[in-house]
Amino acid sequence: MKSYINGKQYNENSISYRELGFGEDLPFKEENFQIFIIKENISSQLIKIIDFFIEQCKRDDKHLKEPDIPELNNKGYPKASKLLYENRSLVEELIKDYLYFDILELLFKGNKNPDFIINNIEYIKFDGINLEIKGSGFFAKVRDNYLNNK
C-alpha cells in the first residue's frame, strides 16, 4: 500500500479514519489524500467483505420483494471474484456507497494515535490490479489546535 497526503508519500501506520461525523464539513482545513492498494495485499479480505454484502442484499431483497441495488439483482447476485473482473464499476460503487467503513477498517484498524484522519472518500477506482481511493481528511494536530483555541 502506498499513501499520499497532498501529493507526498505518507506512512500508512500514521493514518486512521473518522467514525463519528465521517463526511461532515469541518471548521478547519482539510487535506487531500490518495491511497493505492495492490490487489494481492487485500484480495481475500476484500472478496469476503463484498461477498457478505452481496449475500445480505440478496436476503434483504428477497424479504422486501424489491431490490435495493437493481444491478446486483439483474446480475443474479454474483460472487465478488466475478464482479472484480466483469463489472469493476459496480464494485467501485459498492465500496464508495456502502462498504467504505469496512475497507477503511481493513486498512487502518490497528492504527492508534494517528497523525492523519480520513474524513471523506470522493473517488474509488479499481483497475484489476490496484484499488485507488481519494478523498480528504485532516491532521490530528490541526484539529487539536482548533479545539484548544475554541
pLDDT band at 39 (very low <50, low <70, confident <90, very high): low
Work out the pLDDT band at 41, boundaries 50, 70, 90.
low
- Give the CA distances from residue 137 to residues 21, 47, 49, 116, in Å, rounded to whole numbers and listed in that order: 12, 26, 24, 7
Instruction: pLDDT band for 127, please (50, 70, 90 cuts).
Output: confident
Specify the higher pLDDT residue, 44 or 102: 102
Confidence of residue 138 (pLDDT cuts 50, 70, 90): very high
The DSSP H or E segment spanning 72 is: helix 70-74
Q: Are 134 and 34 in contact (CB under 8 A)?
A: yes
44: burial class by Cβ within 10 Å (0-12, 13-18, 19+)? exposed
